[in-house]
Structure 1
Amino acid sequence: MIHPAHRLQDTKEYYFSRKLKEVRALAAEGHPIINMGIGSPDMPAPEAVVQALESGLKDAKAHQYQSYTGIPELRTAMARFYKKHYTVTLDPETEVLPLMGSKEGIMHISMAFLNPGDEVLIPNPGYPTYSAVTKLVEAVPVAYDLDATNSWLPDLDALAQQDLSRVKMMWVNYPHMPTGTKARDVFFEKLITFAKAHAILIINDNPYSFILNDHPKSILDIEGAKDVALELNSLSKTFNMAGWRVGMVAGNATYINHILKVKSNMDSGMFYGIQKGAIAALELESSWFDTINEVYAKRRQLIYNLVEKLGCTYDSNSVGLFVWAKLPEGVDAENFIDTVLQEKYIFITPGTIFGTQGEGYIRFSLCVTEEEIKKAIKRF
């Protein structure tokens, strides 16, 4: 038997990969499962996007290897999108790199900048992939705690008192997943100052800025941000294109070139038709966001009703694709969701999968129809 690499010793199968096997098994037994755990948009991609994909399939270039940096029209569309919605100017030739989903970018960025033993500041609670990828590249994840008392923002003054001499990168994610917290310019300004003082590369993972959020922000809009920050973005949630796998990383041309060195050795470029569809999405009018947010707002109100029925509390000022709810005092999150799954056949995500600071919380996805949410409410 050939043993796996040491880097896999602390790497577990992704939680949703494991848990969905249990959910599928219950469904196969005939149980009426309602899945409120996954943030996978259930509405279709815009019709103009689908038409652009279909048209792209007929192009003579469609079945050839594609450029590692994407076709020029896609990079230009991404730069225009940032200018229109975030007031951020990007050079489409050097400051934006298309990705096959932003999750790919987490690995590419980590491989481009981290050496074994480098430390990485990871939000707790936060997206589990940040920590998992850090370990895969043999760097060291260092959790920084977020909590409701500080509006789920890091205490940068407290962090500055720690030994940061080995810290090379810091992951932030605003609007925040799973809590839905927004970050204001004053926080981003302080974060950039902190990064420059300690020579830390900041990466803001920003896939939720248009979901139930009237004021989308980019960290790159802050003066001096390109010196020490990159931003990941995605079309998955914004345009109901999760399965299309289209994302981007934006920032300083030198940093982008480092990432390209990794990416160009790992894939052969995004499928041409998908690139054409992505261009169509990025060029849509802002009314598209109004359309999807009208649906999500109705769903969120119903989820609030369910949350209250369960005796939980929530922050009505949060944004994004989820509702982050606090369980009654003393209730264990994982035991709670297991009981609900086995007795009510409803899958909810426990806050603990996002870190120890998620204990006592559960997360509901808005990627569930109003009809299904009403069914869930009736089961209680």
Structure 2
Amino acid sequence: WWPDFDALEKMDLEGVKVMWTNYPNMPTGAKATPELYQRLVDFGLKHKILIVNDNPYSFILCGKPISILAAKGAEKCCLELNSLSKSHNMSGWRIGMVGGDPEMITEILKVKSQMDSGMFKPLQLAGIAALNQSPEWFEELNSEYVRRRVAAGRIFDTLGATYDHDTAGLFLWGRVPSKYAENGMTASEVISERVLHQAGVFITPGFIFGKNGEDYIRVSLCARPEVLDRANKKIEEVIDKII
């Protein structure tokens, strides 16, 4: 789930000013590598395109977090966005940040200063407290997400779906055999419908994310392991009616 640089190079890029990227990726959970970030930076420098990477999942199931700003030359063509929403369980608080060259940040602030005048101070203080958490706090957070990912994997095992055991972010994707497609419905749609009606469990069908998701289903890691295990048990009880 990386950019197709060969295809990009064949495009007319003369009028392109900004390229938006998102790694670790949402919705796929694909991780970036230092090599990918360097290639993005080199692409931006070559074509004089500003690369803006959205990186809010950098602390969720990623091992050692990495940033596009660490790539050689990134300060000349890159900005990176981040947020406390995912990394510190503060979704909806709207506490985010942008990093990059000071001159670029100054230009952003010219616009931002005309849009608002800062957020509610207690939220800012809460953000400071969150940023002061120890590395052990993140270890505990990720240990919980690992338990949830394992539990979600058991659901896919029950359904005969294959999956990557090492994706990042708050979701796990499973690939279901395309043979389940029927009557104009994609494989993901068929399996999701059967699981919903037979087991009373809703699993997100990948087709809603576009053609590349037609053979995939998705489980959220926002549910506790015991909830995921309970869902799996309900599916196991009626699995002969599903696959």
TM-score tier after normalising by the smaller chain length: 0.7 to 0.9
In the alignment, structure 1 residue 273 sits paired with structure 2 residue 122: yes
CA spacing shift, 1:159–1:274, aligned 2, 3 Å = same
CA–CA separation in structure 1 for the residues paired with 2:106 and 2:197: 49
- Give how far 1:344 is off: 3.1
| Amino acid corresponding to residue 315 of structure 1 in structure 2 | D
Aligned twin of 1:189: 38
Deviation per residue, 1:152-203 (Å, 9 max, x gap): 1112133112212222221211111222221111111111111111121111
Q: CA RMSD in A?
A: 1.7
- Give how far 1:238 is off: 0.9
CA–CA separation in structure 2 for the residues paired with 1:214 and 1:327: 27
CA–CA separation in structure 1 for the residues paired with 2:8 and 2:230: 45
Aligned twin of 2:241: none
CA–CA separation in structure 1 for the residues paired with 2:212 and 2:138: 32
CA spacing shift, 1:341–1:249, aligned 2, 3 Å = farther
CA–CA separation in structure 2 for the residues paired with 1:162 and 1:203: 19
Aligned twin of 1:302: 151
In the alignment, structure 1 residue 242 sits paired with structure 2 residue 88: no
Query: Matched residue of 1:243: which SS?
Result: coil
Query: Matched residue of 2:126: which SS?
Result: helix
CA–CA separation in structure 2 for the residues paired with 1:268 and 1:351: 40
> Please, which of 6, 9, 13 is the counterpart of residue 164 of structure 1?
13
In the alignment, structure 1 residue 233 sits paired with structure 2 residue 88: no
In the alignment, structure 1 residue 360 sits paired with structure 2 residue 215: yes
In the alignment, structure 1 residue 327 sits paired with structure 2 residue 182: no
Task: State the identity as a percent.
Answer: 50
CA–CA separation in structure 2 for the residues paired with 1:374 and 1:313: 18
> Please, which of 215, 223, 228 is the counterpart of residue 373 of structure 1?
228
Question: Number of paired residues?
Answer: 229
Aligned twin of 1:290: 139
Deviation per residue, 1:80-100 (Å, 9 max, x gap): xxxxxxxxxxxxxxxxxxxxx
- Give how far 1:343 is off: 4.1
| Structure 1 residues 85-124: aligned runs within 5 Å | none
- Give how far 1:363 is off: 1.7
Query: Matched residue of 1:346: which SS?
Result: coil
CA–CA separation in structure 2 for the residues paired with 1:337 and 1:249: 38
Aligned twin of 1:8: none
| Amino acid corresponding to residue 77 of structure 2 in structure 1 | V
CA–CA separation in structure 1 for the residues paired with 2:13 and 2:32: 23
CA–CA separation in structure 1 for the residues paired with 2:56 and 2:189: 26
Query: Matched residue of 1:297: which SS?
Result: helix
CA–CA separation in structure 2 for the residues paired with 1:326 and 1:178: 14
Higher relative contact order (CA 8 A, sep 6+): 1
CA–CA separation in structure 2 for the residues paired with 1:366 and 1:292: 12
Query: Matched residue of 2:23: which SS?
Result: coil
CA–CA separation in structure 1 for the residues paired with 2:37 and 2:124: 31
- Give how far 1:335 is off: 4.5
CA spacing shift, 1:356–1:256, aligned 2, 3 Å = farther
CA–CA separation in structure 2 for the residues paired with 1:258 and 1:342: 53
CA spacing shift, 1:274–1:311, aligned 2, 3 Å = same
Unmatched segments (≥5 aa) in structure 2? 236-243
Aligned twin of 1:134: none
| Amino acid corresponding to residue 326 of structure 1 in structure 2 | R
- Give how far 1:317 is off: 2.5
| Amino acid corresponding to residue 226 of structure 2 in structure 1 | E
Query: Matched residue of 1:236: which SS?
Result: helix
TM-score, normalised via structure 1 length: 0.57
Aligned twin of 2:238: none
- Give how far 1:339 is off: 4.3
CA spacing shift, 1:334–1:253, aligned 2, 3 Å = farther
CA–CA separation in structure 2 for the residues paired with 1:273 and 1:256: 25
TM-score, normalised via structure 2 length: 0.87
Aligned twin of 2:201: 346
- Give how far 1:376 is off: 0.5
- Give how far 1:302 is off: 1.0
CA–CA separation in structure 2 for the residues paired with 1:264 and 1:354: 35
